[in-house]
A and B are shown apart, each in its own frame.
Chain A
Amino acid sequence: MLSKRARLWLGLIAALSLLSLASSCSNKPADEETTDKGKAYTAKGDEGTVSGNVSYTGAVPEAKKIDTSADAQCAAKSPNLMTEEWIVKDGKLANSFVYIKEGTLADGTKIGDYTTWPNAPSSTTLDQNGCHYKPHVLGVVVNEPINITNSDPTTHNIHFPQGLNPDWNQSQPNGAAPLQHKLAVAEVMVPVKCNQHPWMKAYVGVLKHPFFAVSAEDGSFTIKGVPPGKYTVVAWHEGGVKGTEQKMEVTVPAKGAAKADFTFGASAMGQPSSLPMMPAIEFPMTMKH
């Protein structure tokens, strides 16, 4: 049996251990180099493009009005904020992330063999403006700096939840300097959210190569600088829990263009399509990830 003094010391040590653990467990930086070293691709001048349109068929889900009243600054700046999940205009779908998933170059090498590309973007910006993210969907290459800015007169917190990349959560008061974040692991898609304003959502596609695009309001997209070869092109769109995607095989000729048109619709929305009372128990019908 321990003496009173020994129990007191044990209690103190346990409390101090918890305290020190709490203070030492700060957010881990996600910008560790975790990608393996691969080959560098050298441009040969015969690169082509993949372009096309993303369409939507069927009844378009109505955008829902977002209640921003929890923060008066948001309500004042964005009184009519709407959801951005399905932005469809004349049957064309915006905010689809289109990318080359895999493929073989004309010389027989795999696209995944390369980790360095001459036309890779150097940085991108994610702005918090009007209590929503601009852009809503974006793509980056691994370890590309994402400059996060706050253009709102209120505090946001920007949160990349744990996926293949580690969890990252930072508060950013109004007027604060931009934050910078890098995603070190290829992942489609990384959700971004603000825990202060739970309606704020964005999605980041992280790839080892720069062959991606986001469909514009007219549904069009163009991926430039693609080496000649055969590829699987995927169009991802949010909806449901993890989004939904369409695939297509294309061949990019030397200095040529490949066409890739995608169509989303009610059957590919990622909405629960079986017994709606028990979505947690149903088999996923439309999730591809």
Chain B
Amino acid sequence: MSKGVHRFAVLVACATFFLIIAGANVTSHDAGLATSDWPKSNGQWFPKMVGNLFWEHGHRMVATAVGVLTIALAAYLQFGERRTWVKRLGWLALVGVIAQGLLGGLTVKMNLPLAVSAAHATLAQLFFLTTVSLAVFTSRSWITPASTVNDGGEGVSIRALCVVALLVILVQLVLGATLRHSATWDQTLPTGLLLAHIGGAAIVTLVLGVTILIVLMRHRDEKYLARPAFVAVALLVVQLLLGLAAYITRTASPYDPQPLNPMIAVTVAHVACGALVFATTIVLTLRVFKVVRADRQEYVLAPA
């Protein structure tokens, strides 16, 4: 396994994160229907990118670049990786990015139906999850034989906690995507969805908080697990503050002639930070699965 594969996987993950930011800008600017055609914009591959077309067509261009990078990564893994399941994950990523592109086209062609737009936003997060996982699986710390450590913890399984945390974050991301696509900035947010998203934030905070607390209580001195745990808790705090700020800035915007930059910036940051919380939790989860045995009788730790 060469360092090149890992570096390239990290590049694809970073590009995907940038793509999520670009996509969030499309929604916040209400630019999704800036052109009624797809995949071309106003009948052109390279239109004049003025007004909201900058965001919509820019998103398409970034998405194309990520698609090409994903093809390259899948091919790179095919020839530069020995583990069959990692190669398959590379092809799965490619299937994911193709499906994501088709969902993007579908939602434009259907004039942004809520279900398709929310599915597009959710698949974006799942694709990001896949690219981050590939970066983890190709990393030196994952491949290098691990040393054994003891875990003094009893009771609840860290593995199970991490999986539950991932699932509640995913549900929260789906709720957030649905809330976001159910009303543009000049419309009232649906109360039920808003309350569900706020409730989801409380549940994520509880589950992820407990998970991180237990990880740190049992493995505080083990950087391999403690680092992503600390990053996750920091991102969670930032995410909660961004969520509150997103709501405040949005309530200040409905009667403005256009979405204002503070609302756009904060809301996009909230989407991006949500993706990072998800990504950090998958890193923590994979590492937990790597070093903590299921029977919790023996623990191994990879070098940090």
Interface residue? A23 (CB, 8 A) = yes
The answer to whether B258 touches A280, judged by C-beta atoms less than 8 angstroms apart, is: no
- In the complex, chain B residues whose CB is within 8 Å of the CB of A279: 188, 251, 254
**Which residues of chain B have a CB within 8 Å of any CB of chain A?**
29-38, 42-43, 47-48, 50-54, 95, 98-99, 102-103, 105-106, 109-111, 186-191, 194-195, 248, 251, 254-259
The answer to whether A196 touches B52, judged by C-beta atoms less than 8 angstroms apart, is: yes
The answer to whether B30 touches A198, judged by C-beta atoms less than 8 angstroms apart, is: yes
| Residue from B54, B102, B106 with most neighbouring chain A CB atoms (10 Å) | B102
- In the complex, chain B residues whose CB is within 8 Å of the CB of A83: 257
- B108, closest chain A residue (CB): A22
The answer to whether B99 touches A70, judged by C-beta atoms less than 8 angstroms apart, is: no
The answer to whether A154 touches B102, judged by C-beta atoms less than 8 angstroms apart, is: no
- In the complex, chain B residues whose CB is within 8 Å of the CB of A22: 38, 102, 105-106, 109
Q: SS class of chain A's interface: helix, strand, loop or mixed? A: loop
The answer to whether A11 touches B34, judged by C-beta atoms less than 8 angstroms apart, is: no
Interface residue? A246 (CB, 8 A) = no
The answer to whether A167 touches B111, judged by C-beta atoms less than 8 angstroms apart, is: yes
Q: How far is the CA of A195 from the CA of B257 in the complex (A)?
A: 13
Given A278-B251, A281-B195, the answer on whether A15 and B50 have CB atoms closer than 8 Å is: no
Question: Number of residue pairs across A and B with beta carbons under 8 Å?
Answer: 110
The answer to whether B190 touches A280, judged by C-beta atoms less than 8 angstroms apart, is: yes
Q: How far in angstroms is the closest Cβ of chain B from A81?
A: 8
Of A67, A167, A271, which one neighbours B258 at CB under 8 angstroms?
Answer: A67
Of A18, A25, A70, A276, which one neighbours B251 at CB under 8 angstroms?
Answer: A276
What 1/0 mask marks residues of chain A from 24 to 68 whose CB sits below 8 Å from any chain B CB? 011100000000000000000000000000000000000010110
**Which residues of chain A have a CB within 8 Å of any CB of chain B?**
11, 15, 18-19, 21-23, 25-27, 64, 66-67, 70-74, 83, 85, 154-155, 157, 159, 162, 167, 169-171, 173, 195-199, 240-241, 271, 276-281
Q: How far is the CA of A195 from the CA of B42 in the complex (A)?
A: 13
- In the complex, chain A residues whose CB is within 8 Å of the CB of B54: 70
Q: How far is the CA of A277 from the CA of B51 in the complex (A)?
A: 30
